[in-house]
Structure 1
Amino acid sequence: MTDEQVLAEFRAAEALLEGHFILSSGLRSSRYLQCARVLMNPARAARLAEALAFKIPDKLKIQLGSVVSPAMGGVIAGHEMGRALGLDAMFVERPDGVFHLRRGFRLEPGQKVLLMEDVVTTGLSSREAIKAVEEAGGQVIAAAALVDRSNGTADLGVPFYPLIRLDVPTYQPESLPPELAAIPAVKPGSRAAVAA
Structure 2
Amino acid sequence: MTDEEVLAEFRAAEALLEGHFILSSGRRSANYLQCARVLMNAERAGKLARALAQKLPRELRAEIDLVVSPAMGGIIIGHEMGRALDVDAIFLERPEGTFELRRGFDIAEGQKVLLVEDVVTTGLSSRQAMDAVRDAGGVVLAEAALVDRSAGEADLGVPFYPLVSLNFPVYDPADVPPELAAIPAVKPGSRKI
Equivalence for 2:100: 100
- Provide TM-score, normalisation by structure 1: 0.97
Equivalence for 1:21: 21
- Please report how far the alpha carbon of residue 108 of structure 1 lies from its aligned counterpart in structure 2 after TM superposition: 1.1
Distance 2:77 2:38 in 1: 10
Equivalence for 1:37: 37
In the TM superposition, 1:83-122 aligns within 5 A as 83-122=83-122
Gaps of 5+ in 2: none
- Please report how far the alpha carbon of residue 151 of structure 1 lies from its aligned counterpart in structure 2 after TM superposition: 2.1
In the TM superposition, 1:1-196 aligns within 5 A as 1-193=1-193
- Please report how far the alpha carbon of residue 153 of structure 1 lies from its aligned counterpart in structure 2 after TM superposition: 1.0
**Identity value in percent:** 72
Q: Which consecutive segments of 4 or more residues in structure 1 shift more than 6 A?
A: none
- Provide TM-score, normalisation by structure 2: 0.99
- Please report how far the alpha carbon of residue 102 of structure 1 lies from its aligned counterpart in structure 2 after TM superposition: 1.0
Distance 1:83 1:190 in 2: 24
Structure 2 counterpart of 1:94, which letter? R
Tell me the secondary structure at the aligned position of residue 62 of structure 1: helix
Aligned length: 193
Tell me the secondary structure at the aligned position of residue 19 of structure 1: strand
Structure 2 counterpart of 1:110, which letter? G
Structure 1 counterpart of 2:64, which letter? L
Tell me the secondary structure at the aligned position of residue 63 of structure 2: coil
- Please report how far the alpha carbon of residue 139 of structure 1 lies from its aligned counterpart in structure 2 after TM superposition: 0.6
Structure 1 counterpart of 2:51, which letter? A
RMSD across aligned C-alpha pairs, in angstroms? Answer: 0.5
Distance 2:153 2:47 in 1: 26
